Amino acid sequence: MAGDRISTRLTGPGLAEWLDDRTERMMTGSIDIQARIELGMWRGALAGELRRIRLTVDQVNCLADVMNGTIMDAALAGSAGIVFYNAADAFQLARETPFPGESSYGAKWGIDEKELLEYLQRLGPTADHALHDAISRWWQTNVEPTVEGWATVGLTVAPSPQENEADK
């Protein structure tokens, strides 16, 4: 587990200047304090985007199936995100090269693949990263693929339409 103190050298192009500028304009007085604030803001931005994502439990379980084994990285995708590209590739491969007895992801999870891809394509880079992170953390937790299980990683999902029908 990480301690409460970190040290780093600002090496990215313009990163030190950017942090200095933010420190001045936010009047924090120290780039150390400003870096701590920026880290907290990034964490808050991820949590905020995660709260805005609207998926059903079947849709997110399908994405977890697709994203199983993918590695988190520091990339933020442009117009469409990492989750979108992984899902689009997986859906296409399943349709084009089916193994005997294997169905599409849509059939397996009872979802509309096109609808899900259209939704994922509209996510911004921060929301996409937040969703990828939540899926990655969910795989590490060993919780059930349920509304409650997804809530443990900060993702609020709607019950599947089948669950809604069963409750009536």
Query: Across the chain, how many H-helices and E-strands are there?
Result: 9, 2
Asked whether residue 46 carries a pLDDT value surpassing 80, the answer given is: yes
Per-residue pLDDT tens for 132-161? 999 999 999 989 999 999 999 999 999 987
Q: What is the pTM of this model?
A: 0.87
Residue 146, burial from CB neighbour count under 10 angstroms (0-12, 13-18, 19+):
middle
The one-letter code for the residue type at 9 is: R
Q: From CA 141, how far away is CA 134, in angstroms rounded?
A: 10
In degrees, to the nearest 5, what angle opens at C-alpha 77 toward C-alphas 159 and 84?
A: 35
Phi, psi of 158 (to 5 degrees): -85, 150
Phi, psi torsion values for 132, nearest 5 degrees = -60, -45
* Residue type (1 letter), 114: K
> What would the pLDDT profile of 86-106 be if each residue is shown by its tens digit?
999 999 988 887 666 667 899
Weakest-pLDDT range from 1-10, 63-72, 100-109, 123-132: 1-10
